[in-house]
Each structure stands twice: as C-alpha cells, then as structure tokens.
Chain A
Amino acid sequence: MKKPMRDFTHGELQWQPWITPVDLDTATPEQLAALKVTPSNRTVGAYSLVLAHDPEALSERSPLYNGIMFGAKGLPRADRELGAVAASRVNGCAYCASVHALRFNQLSKQPEVMERIQADGVDAALEPRLKAILDYSAKLTRDPAALTAADAAPLRAQGLSDMDILDLTHAVAMFAWANRLMQTLGEPAAPAPAGNPL
C-alpha cells in the first residue's frame, strides 16, 4: 500500500490519525489530566488525542519527552533537535523530520544545515561538530547494538562531555519512540489550504 507524502520536506506537514482520536467532550477525567486540558487550554492536537486512549502511558511519556527535549541545562537544544531529525530521517518519519528541522532552524539560525540534510539525508556534509552529532544519532537509530566505545571519541573530540552525550542519546532514543507512534498510528498529510474554513 502506497503511503502519501512519504517524501521528506522541511515545509509544514500535518499528521492524519488512522484511529479515531479521543473526543474532548466525552473524555474521561484521566484522559483530560493526561492531556493537561484545562478550561482555558483546549488546544490539543490529533496526535495527543490518539495517545489519550491510554492515559497512563501518556501521562508518563509527556514529562519525560519535555525533560529530554526542552530541559534548560546540558546539551544545547539545537543539538537535541539535530538528533531528532537524524533519527526521523533514518526511520522514515517525514512528519517528525519536518517539525524538528523547523525547530532546529529556530534555535540555531543555521538553515543551511537542514538544507544539506534535506538534500543528502544523514550522509550530509556538515561542520565537524554537527557531523559528529549526526553520525552518532544515525548509528544509534539504525543499529544500537553495533555501537562501541570508539563511537564516543568523535563526540568527545568536538567537546561534548559524557553528560552531553547522554543528553543526545536520550533525544535520539526519544525519536525511536516518537517516530514509531507516529508511523503506526497515522500518517503525514499535506496541510489544509490557507483560508479553508475547516
């Protein structure tokens, strides 16, 4: 079965679920709590509304995701976003790759990095520090059992501490998780045309 919109893009994509999302109007208290829905904040995307079918898993996952991707200290957030993009490219998650390429651009102000990855994938030629991050992220995604002590050396040579490497590992691993949720529960879709009342 051919999937639409499989090509990678750094423009905006949306995500179309294959399973009916939870309806906020009939959601249980546990689902609303897991979604962090309050009377003043009912803006919840389809992805979260699908995950809300299992509120226990969602309520554990959300703080872990936020800590790994948004935590203020440690490895710069742009580097974590690069890890997320690398994982998403290797796994073939066009939606995740597009979202996190945009976040990388916002954080790094280096749009040429994602332009190169858009063209050449995880084989893109980058400056040495970003290349070390890209290479490690791709290998950890593709074949984690193949990692050896030698794979830490290029990251350390670019000034990453072991705690930075652990931050990167968590970000890349989070996208082994996120990509699979996105890819088994729905598919990317083109955004609605501007001005569409729906």
Chain B
Amino acid sequence: MAPDSATQADLDRLLAAGMTPRAVVSLSQLIAYVNFQSRVLAGLRMLRDAQ
C-alpha cells in the first residue's frame, strides 16, 4: 500500500465522475479508517498471542 502515491488528478477524476465533495471525503475517511482498524486488530492479536 502506498498512500503517498495519491495525486490531485486521482481526486479530480472522482469529482469529474459526479461524486460530491462530501462523497469523496467519506470515501477517504472509510479507506483511512479501515487502515486504523486493521492495525488496532494486529496489535491486539499480538498482545493476545504474547500472553
């Protein structure tokens, strides 16, 4: 995964396809949140396995 590869052109394509700014922000929030969630789960799994 390479979040740094996102560009303004990627975002502009979403807007050009008819997505609202709100929908674009919601999509970024969702994808970013899942990355948060997966790391919390990985840490919890590590602590469980280290008992």
Contacts and interface: CB of A to CB of B under 8 A. Distances in A.
Contact residues on B (Cβ < 8 Å of other chain), bracket: 35 or more
Contact residues on A (Cβ < 8 Å of other chain), bracket: 35 or more
Interface in B1-51: 2-4, 6-12, 15, 20-22, 24-26, 28-29, 31-33, 35-47, 49-50
A147 B45 contact: yes
Contact of A184 (B28, B39, B42): B28
B29 to A, nearest CB: 4
A61 interface: yes
Interface string A98-131: 0000000000000000000000000000000000
A19 B24 contact: yes
> Which secondary structure dominates where chain A touches chain B?
helix
Contacts of B43: 140, 144, 147, 165-166, 168-170, 172-173
B36 A19 contact: no
A169 B44 contact: yes
B38 A144 contact: yes
Interface in A1-25: 1, 3, 6, 18-20
A177 B42 contact: no
A174 interface: yes
A194 interface: no
A151 B28 CA distance: 30
B42 A185 contact: no
Given A166-B43, A169-B43, A173-B43, A152 B21 contact: no
Contacts of A141: 39
A61 B41 CA distance: 18
Interface in A158-173: 162, 165-166, 168-170, 172-173
A50 B11 CA distance: 13
Given A140-B43, A147-B45, A172-B39, A19 B29 contact: no
B3 A187 contact: no
Interface of A: 1, 3, 6, 18-20, 50-51, 53-54, 57, 61, 91-93, 140-141, 144-145, 147-153, 156, 162, 165-166, 168-170, 172-174, 176-181, 183-185, 187
- Which 9 residue pairs of A and B lie closest in terms of their CB atoms, listed nearest first? A169-B43, A92-B4, A144-B42, A180-B32, A173-B39, A177-B36, A149-B49, A149-B50, A152-B50
